[in-house]
Chains A and B, each alone.
Chain A
Amino acid sequence: MMRDLSCQLDPVESARLRPPAEVMRLSRMGSFFPTRLSFMRVLLRSLSAGEAKISRAVWEIDKNGWGRAVYRLDYNAAVYSLVAFSNQLADSARTDRVIATAWDATFVLYDGVPDRAELDRLQAAAPHQEKGRYGPRDLVLSRANKSVRLFEELVSALAEGRQPEAGLIARTGYLMRTTAVYGNGKFGICDREQFAGDSSAGDPSAGDQAAGDSSAGRDGFARPFAAEMMAVYLIRHFTHDLVDHIAAARGGKKAIRLDRELRRHLGIGNSTGLGMAPFLVTHPVLLNNWMLARETAWARVRGLAEASPEQQQRLQELASRAGGHLAEWQVPDEAAQTRIQNLRAEWAAVQASLSADLLNGPYPFAALAGLAADRSQECQELMLALCLEVNGEAIDGLADCMDSSQEARLNPAARAADLLAETRQQFGWALAVDFSQPDAIQHFWYVSAAKLEPRLGNRHLEAGSELETPLDIARRVQAMEAALAGWLETAPPDKLVAEFLLAFPQHRLAVQRVQTNGWAPYSEIQDNLLDASCLPVDMLRCKLSFFGASKFDPKSDRWTRITMYQGAPLADELADARLADDWWLPVLG
């Protein structure tokens, strides 16, 4: 049973949590690294523990690599399939933009094993992605484009009987880049509530889990984005097989298979834009639970009185590996590369300070936090991730607390005066914004008519701000506070929130957010998302780090490329629990 973490915090740990005012700032959220609580890591541990078996059920791929394939996943007494369609695509049509209409490959994660008729149905729809219509047996829809140069280099090398240059693989890190991974009911595909195990218990929109339907027993996909992460893991497997297959077709007897270690270092790329950013604002309780689990883990680890000799050794190894990973992390963007270079220098200094005395001393993980405290936020967050990494036993259970069946709630029975006090106490950051300044309201978020995707406009230059999406939480809370304070000047002190909202119904969302923040303290990003200085890419990095992505490669202030599953175990290595869980910030060689 999934639990809401806010209900079960240990008071000592609670006192040690970093305050939301420190954590929920965009600059810090944009400095996150993947941790062992990230969804990909949790999924692979679950696959390993659940003795998941992945096999290739259909391979109708021609010598050019075009055709269709099906991978079967047996997991937790259920069967799923990744259905892959590989298509010929002209270079001129290859674009990572969400407005693209054709891709090198398209995919569906399917509930069960598709028969011929189902395969044909998916083949008619999936290559068209958003223009197709899907059904309740389709769990995830995705597409990907080749990393053309690396793909061709690998095919050529393997066809000639040689392994490709390792440095090339380390630099690129993937054979294909997904440009969308759709789940949870999009375009008619299965609702998450329907397949997400018991997390939907008590949720009135949940499916009938008790009736013995095909959705029963899917505990493995109950955690957030587990189905999407599963699909991406299988897509990675497909890309590995595809490059071997084409090389074999081209090279004949001369051809060899890609070396296992090189293969492991090939993940899946992804291009992510603004579509992902509003999620963190529109799912405040879920955001709270993700952050609270992460912060609880960090508080718990900092409270450990000692580190075992094994942990100390592991910590040294992983700190060194992280340094190697930073050295391997190269991006074209100058500002981002400068940040990485600064971090490399900081991390080298941190590594030099990892003395036996420090690690043998009392509360070693708190001491490690102290080592990073005066350095950049990226360095601090990297230290957090490192310390969590060697404390799986203490924190891995928190992964079960990262879902939520609850949503933002209004309490109309609360006293209006209490609401005012709560607003002033918790939303000082919002009340301090001067919204009369043009820069403070420069951005407006909207949904584009062309692709039905979130976009960001400039209020002072572009039309459409009257239709903006309500992500302006700071501005709304400030307006609500002003109205409430004025109303309470003449209203009796025992007036209730319901009465305030009868007089000021336009402030209901703001009231709901403030009250929710009272029991979900990490539910709000404590920055003005309309401000000219707001960098949506920080929201993307936060969310993607929870997925487990690494090697962030920002291409502007509002989209980034990333790598997923780099260094992760291969499908036939999942049974090895150590391999399945030892791929944090991987380094080739």
Chain B
Amino acid sequence: MMIVSASECRDMITKAGRGVGLEASRAADLAAACCLLCAFGRQGCQAALACLADAEGLRLPESPAAGQLFWPQGRAALEGGQAIEMIQAGLAQSAGFGQLDAPPMLLGLAAILAPETGFEMLAGKTLQGRTANGWIDWFGPENGPESGLECARDSVWLRRLDRLPDIAARPLLPFSVDPQDWQAVCQLAALTYVPESETSRARGAGAGQIDND
């Protein structure tokens, strides 16, 4: 494992998101959610990478019942974020995903996008959690830090809670991340970098100066 700061994590995930074509504000929210997962001891970068494997376009939901949205194939950063906002707006009470790329990230995004709304997530029978006031409380059989993505990706449900749950968890800084995950994130971030032109270089700070003055 390697140690990275929250600032580095946020910066690189934002760039990585943009690097794979995620809309800029969604990339920033994904980065914030990734940091939240890391701060709660989960493999946020691993979850973010799962989100970034397919990040283009937005799929429209089905509405199997009143107050319900459903995506047979969902992506946390895209349909997940949209679902949270639809619930937050009062357009639905719950959202389901036949399959979801990164269930923990759905909870992270709920905490970031709608901090004053209480949510509960059920991912099969394995991963469960609640959010309130921008925090996450994990519970369920696989509550260890290694359970990041090993939870069920099938049949994930996010539900608005009528009352804000009481969450007393405490986050950790800086973050401990898998070096391979970090390297993969940096590679995606590099997709946004541009080689400097001579023109630009010639006009940057310090250019054209004799600095032994």
A residues lining the B interface (CB < 8 Å): 91, 94-98, 100, 135-136, 145, 147-149, 179, 184-194, 202-208, 210-211, 271-275, 407-408, 410, 412-413, 446-452, 455-458, 461-464, 467, 469-470, 496-499, 501-502, 505-506, 508-509, 512, 555-559
Contacts and interface: CB of A to CB of B under 8 A. Distances in A.
A443 to B, nearest CB: 11
A534 to B, nearest CB: 13
B112 interface: yes
Contacts of B86: 412, 498, 502
Given A498-B88, A501-B85, A94 B205 contact: no
A149 B35 CA distance: 47
A505 B82 contact: yes
Interface stretch (B20-28, B45-53, B143-151): B20-28
B195 interface: yes
Contact of A95 (B135, B200, B203, B211): B211
Interface string B11-45: 00001001000011110000010011001000000
B129 interface: no
B171 A97 contact: no
Contacts of B111: 204
B88 A455 contact: no
B90 to A, nearest CB: 6
User: Interface SS of chain A: helix, strand, loop or mixed?
Assistant: loop
A98 B7 CA distance: 20
A41 B32 CA distance: 32
A457 B194 contact: yes
B194 A467 contact: yes
Contacts of A148: 212-213
Given A462-B199, A505-B82, A556-B207, 7 more contacts: A185-B174, A192-B7, A455-B194, A455-B200, A467-B192, A498-B88, A502-B86
Contact of A193 (B6, B23, B204): B6
13 contacts: A94-B211, A188-B3, A188-B8, A193-B6, A205-B36, A208-B172, A271-B206, A450-B195, A455-B196, A458-B199, A467-B194, A505-B58, A508-B25
Nearest to B32: A205
Contacts of A192: 7
Contacts of B163: none
A97 B203 CA distance: 10
B213 A452 contact: no
What 6 pairs between A and B have smallest CB-CB spacing? A273-B205, A185-B7, A185-B5, A464-B194, A96-B206, A97-B206
Given A136-B173, A136-B174, A449-B190, A455 B204 contact: yes
Contacts of A410: 25, 85, 113
Nearest to A148: B212
Contacts of B209: 95-96, 555
B35 A205 contact: yes
A447 B15 contact: yes
Interface of B: 3-8, 10, 15, 18, 23-26, 32, 35-36, 39, 58, 60, 78, 82, 85-86, 88-91, 111-113, 115, 133-135, 170-174, 190-197, 199-200, 203-209, 211-213
B200 A447 contact: no
B133 A202 contact: yes
A191 B192 contact: no
Given A191-B173, A410-B85, A502-B82, A179 B206 contact: yes
A505 B4 CA distance: 31
A455 B115 CA distance: 35
Nearest to B10: A205
Contact of B171 (A95, A206, A501): A206
Contact of A464 (B18, B90, B195): B195
Contact of A272 (B18, B133, B205): B205
A98 B205 contact: yes
A97 B6 CA distance: 27
Contacts of B212: 91, 94, 148-149
A512 B192 contact: no
Given A97-B204, A204-B112, A509-B24, A467 B193 contact: yes
Given A204-B135, A462-B200, A449 B195 contact: yes
Contact of B196 (A149, A205, A272, A449): A449
Nearest to B92: A498
B213 A448 contact: no
A221 to B, nearest CB: 15
B26 A508 contact: yes
A322 B86 CA distance: 56
A430 B36 CA distance: 34
B171 A446 contact: no
A271 B174 contact: no
Residue in A179, A204, A271, A412 whose Cβ sees the most chain B Cβ within 10 Å: A204
A280 to B, nearest CB: 16
Contacts of A203: 134
B173 A207 contact: yes
A464 B172 CA distance: 38
A530 to B, nearest CB: 15
A189 B88 CA distance: 36
A191 B5 contact: yes
Nearest to B174: A136
A186 B11 CA distance: 10
A205 B171 contact: yes
Contacts of A496: 89, 91
Nearest to A204: B134
B173 A194 contact: yes
Given A208-B171, A559-B205, A191 B85 contact: no
Contacts of A457: 194, 197, 199-200
Contacts of B5: 136, 184-186, 188-191
A175 to B, nearest CB: 12
A499 B200 CA distance: 42
A498 B190 CA distance: 31
A135 B3 contact: yes
B191 to A, nearest CB: 8
Contacts of A557: 203
Contacts of A204: 35-36, 39, 111-112, 115, 134-135, 171
Contacts of B133: 202
A508 B193 CA distance: 23
A555 B205 CA distance: 8
B170 A211 contact: yes
Contact of A205 (B18, B82, B173): B173
A136 B170 CA distance: 18
Interface centre among A272, A461, A505 (most CB of B within 10 A): A505
B208 A556 contact: yes
Contacts of A194: 173-174
Nearest to A147: B213
Contact of A191 (B7, B15, B113): B7
A185 B4 CA distance: 8
A502 B61 CA distance: 9
A145 B205 CA distance: 14
Nearest to A558: B203
Contact of A499 (B88, B91, B134, B191): B91
